[in-house]
Chains A and B, each alone.
Chain A
Amino acid sequence: MGRIQLKAVQKKFGDVEVIPPLDLTIEDGEFAVFVGPSGCGKSTLLRMIAGLEELTSGQVEIDGKDMTLAPPSTRGLAMVFQSYALYPHMTVRKNIAFPLRMEKMDPAEIEKRVAVAAKSLNLTDYLDRKPGQLSGGQRQRVAIGRAIVREPSAFLFDEPLSNLDAALRVGMRLEISELHKRLENTMIYVTHDQVEAMTMADKIVVLQAGVIEQVGSPLELYNAPRNKFVGGFIGSPKMNQLEGEAAKKRGCTTIGMRPEHISVSPDSGEFKGTVGVAEQLGSDTFFHVHVEGHEETVTVRQSGQVNYGYGDTIYFTPEEDRVHKFGPDGLRVE
């Protein structure tokens, strides 16, 4: 069980309101991702759920019980920190066993649980090492192991992959996703990386300046971003947002076109532009096109290898049914 409900949760640091009152429900077994640019309050929100940060006002309920004032350890949650926060003076075994020891569990049972966790995380050979002797990925797994053994009602992850290099990050991402499938536990995962959000989440919560911009499944957010911010934040490369003539023609202030929803032609199309940088990835090609009257380049994605070079003039047209329209207030209009 692990249904987490935030009711009018608010946080102020001094006079600065970092999180205006917000409501949010995370269902049991859900993989929820808080995503947003740094400083948007996502970590603060997570820490308030964990009990590491006091609420200025509002309530945190876990499985229907008011936990607003409960100390962190009694909430039945486990947390994986960005810095892993392993105890450097303890071996891996002791690190993983630590929360159980705190619960005064029977040593034999502890031993058993540690062994199971270590096996599932491929840590069995490292149990007697200290964290300092492990690689980043291994440390990450120890931190997860320490969370798993408690059999918590929910896992909290605070940017757990941001200290890993790119290759490891992909691997760990899969491991965590698989862990979720296997344990079927509630997980709340904080990241600034929208790729992690898209690939892992059942439910994404996009935050900006402490305000929830949109809540929904990855594809809902991708297909129907509620506003310009979400449109720009979700999806890679970024959605192109243009104002002016093209927007007016479609009856809105701003149009959003994803790079992958644009077709290119050498001789005719809605927009005319000059190719700036062309990034050849083999599987895809990205063109950064200068369009007259627009300061920012428009990114266009073409499948496969397409040969336009620097300075070439091209024409491009968005797929009309996939154009996103935003009103003067930045909100989506249909």
Chain B
Amino acid sequence: MANRTIPRLLQTPAVVLLLFWMLIPLGMTLFFSFIRYVLNNLRNPHWTSPSIENWRGFGNYQFVWGQDSFWLAMKNSLVIVTSILFLTVILGVLIAVLINRSFKGRGIVRVLLISPFFVMPAVNGVLWINMILDPVLGLQGIAVGAINDLQNAPLVGWFFSLWPTLEPISFRATQTSSIAVIMMVVWQWTPFAILIFMTSLQSEDQQQKEAAVLDGASTWSQFRFLTLPHLGRPIAIVVMIQAIFHLSLYAEIEIVSRGNGNKNLPYYIGELVNNNIGAASAAGIFAVILANIVAIFLLRMVGKTLME
């Protein structure tokens, strides 16, 4: 029957496109990672174009491996991703449970809550780092100024004078830029977690809950032994999807720190690409390995449940 060939034919374009998309650039990266390839080098002009004659073996890998900034970027990548995952899941569960009851204006609450998810990352970065977090002109600066001004207020001023004067924090600095990034991404992705957990909560078995009430379970026990296990699968999915997106986080970091702050792996590679392609490629391969470790781990965890 022709039944077999037509489906294959229909899948071919997608498979071929993705195969090219994956293999060609990745193959080139792999090649570049083993050669000396530097865009600006007056002393060794032959290094400025890719050639097998500039073979460097694992030299680029050793170079990258030996750089403190690489390890810092690696560490930052992991810190940023895990913090975001942790915070979004916790906040997501709490808020989802909070609004999973009927009250006035629940529809509007949902709409307000989900909105940040659709803000483009570039706008997210610009909005937070300037209008909100700027230590002087942003809301942070204004709020800190207002609180400090209370010391001069009549009647209650003496009370506030007892407290130390607040210093606004600059989130563009090296130590704090990761926090700013985590903050804005959590703001953007918690809504996603809420939405998914809330949908899942609505399918929770109400009779089971009623049975639990009859069995004398407290609200906390219901949450702990019924709701939380019910959310297991959605939590796994939220973690997986976010990991996919956040491992390649870029726009926010670029906007927040302009390179002065804490770089993550994509940003570190992005900088190397300006000149040292060999090293950038080696770092890229490390990023691929990291992503693969995460991917294998996550797909093991979640993949099977998805296929049912």
> Are chains A and B native binding partners rather than an unrelated pairing?
yes
CB within 8 Å of B: which residues of A? 51, 54, 69, 71
Identify which of residues 1-55 in chain B touch chain A, using a CB-to-CB cut-off of 8 Å. 1-3
Q: How far is the CB of A59 from chain B (nearest CB, A)?
A: 14
Question: Quick one: closest B residue to A70, CB to CB?
Answer: B1
Query: What residues of chain A lie closer than 8 Å to B1, measured between beta carbons?
Result: 51, 54, 69, 71
Distance (Å) between the CB of A69 and the closest chain B CB?
6
What residues on A are CB-neighbors of B2 within 8 Å? 71
Q: How far is the CB of B276 from chain A (nearest CB, A)?
A: 52
User: B residues within 8 A CB of A69?
Assistant: 1
Some 6 contacts from A to B, beta carbons below 8 A apart, are A51-B1, A54-B1, A54-B3, A69-B1, A71-B1, A71-B2
CA A313 to CA B49, docked complex, whole Å? 102
Kindly list the 6 A-B residue pairs having the minimum CB-CB distance in the complex, ordered from nearest: A54-B1, A69-B1, A54-B3, A71-B1, A71-B2, A51-B1
| Interface majority SS (helix, strand, loop, mixed), chain A | loop
- Chain B residues whose C-beta falls within 8 Å of the C-beta of A71 in the assembled complex: 1-2
A175 CB, nearest partner CB in chain B, Å: 34
Nearest-neighbor residue (CB-CB) of B4 within chain A: A54
Q: Write the nearest CB–CB distance from B44 to chain A, whole angstroms.
A: 59
Min distance, Cβ A248 to any Cβ of chain B, angstroms: 52
**Inter-chain contacts of A54 with B (CB < 8 A):** 1, 3
- The smallest beta-carbon distance between A14 and chain B, in angstroms, is 15
Nearest chain-B residue to A54 (Cβ)? B1
Tell me, rounded to whole Å, the shortest Cβ–Cβ distance linking A73 to chain B. Answer: 12
A60 CB to nearest chain B CB (Å): 12
Shortest B2–chain A CB gap in Å is: 7
Separation in Å of the A70 CB from the closest CB of chain B? Answer: 9
Min distance, Cβ B5 to any Cβ of chain A, angstroms:
12
CA distance A71 to B5 in the complex (A): 14
CA distance A69 to B1 in the complex (A): 6
- Closest Cβ neighbor of B1 among chain A residues: A54
Look across to chain A and name the residue whose beta carbon is closest to the beta carbon of B3.
Answer: A54
Q: Which residues of A contact B3 (CB under 8 A)?
A: 54
Give bound CA distance, A51 to B1, whole Å.
9
Could you say which residues of chain B place their CB within 8 Å of the CB of A51? 1
A54 and B2 CA atoms in complex are apart in Å by 10
Alpha-carbon gap, A54 to B7, bound state (A):
15
> How near does chain A come to B7, taking the closest CB pair, in angstroms?
13
B3 to chain A, nearest CB (A): 7
CA distance A69 to B3 in the complex (A): 10
Report the separation of the CA atoms of residues A71 and B4 in the bound assembly, to the nearest whole angstrom.
12
Q: How far is the CA of A71 from the CA of B6 in the complex (A)?
A: 13
Q: Complex: how many Å from CA A54 to CA B3?
A: 9
CB within 8 Å of A: which B201-250 residues? none
Nearest CB of chain B from residue A176's CB, rounded to whole Å = 30
Q: Which chain B residues numbered 88 to 132 have a C-beta less than 8 Å away from chain A?
A: none
A284 to B2 CA separation, bound complex (whole angstroms) = 56
Please, how many angstroms separate the alpha-carbon atoms of A33 and B1 in the complex?
Answer: 27
Nearest CB in chain B: distance from A38 CB, A: 21
Tell me the bound Cα distance from A39 to B3 in angstroms.
Answer: 24
Q: Which residue of B lies closest to A51 (CB)?
A: B1
Chain A nearest CB, measured from B111 CB (Å): 30
- Shortest beta-carbon distance from A191 to chain B in Å: 27
Given the complex of chains A and B, what is the CA–CA distance between A71 and B2 in angstroms? 8
A51 to B2, CA, bound (A): 12
User: What is the CB-to-nearest-CB distance from B6 to chain A, in angstroms, rounded to a whole number?
Assistant: 11
Cα-based distance from A71 to B1 in the complex (angstroms): 7
Segment 52-90 of B: residues with Cβ below 8 Å from A: none
CA distance A69 to B4 in the complex (A): 12
Chain A: which residue is nearest B2 at the CB level? A71
In the assembled complex, the CB of B59 is this many whole angstroms from the nearest CB of chain A, namely 49
Q: Enumerate B128-162 residues with CB–CB distance to A below 8 Å.
A: none
State in angstroms the CA–CA spacing of A259 and B268 once bound together. 84
Nearest-Cβ distance from residue B158 to partner chain A, whole angstroms: 73
A110 to B2, CA, bound (A): 30
What's the nearest-Cβ distance from chain B to residue A67, in Å?
A: 11
B98 to chain A, nearest CB (A): 36
Q: Determine the distance from Cα of A328 to Cα of B2 in the docked complex, in whole angstroms.
A: 47
B157 to chain A, nearest CB (A): 71
Per-residue contact bits, chain B 267-287, to A (CB 8 Å; 1 contact, 0 not)? 000000000000000000000
Closest Cβ of chain B to A57, distance in Å, is 14
Q: How far is the CB of A77 from chain B (nearest CB, A)?
A: 15
A323 to B68 alpha-carbon distance, docked (Å)? 91
A71 to B3, CA, bound (A): 9
Q: Give A68's nearest chain B residue, CB to CB.
A: B1
A137 to B3, CA, bound (A): 33
Tell me how far the C-beta of A88 lies from the nearest C-beta in chain B, rounded to whole angstroms. Answer: 23
Shortest C-beta distance, A320 to chain B (Å), equals 55
CA of A32 to CA of B42 in the docked complex: distance in angstroms? 88
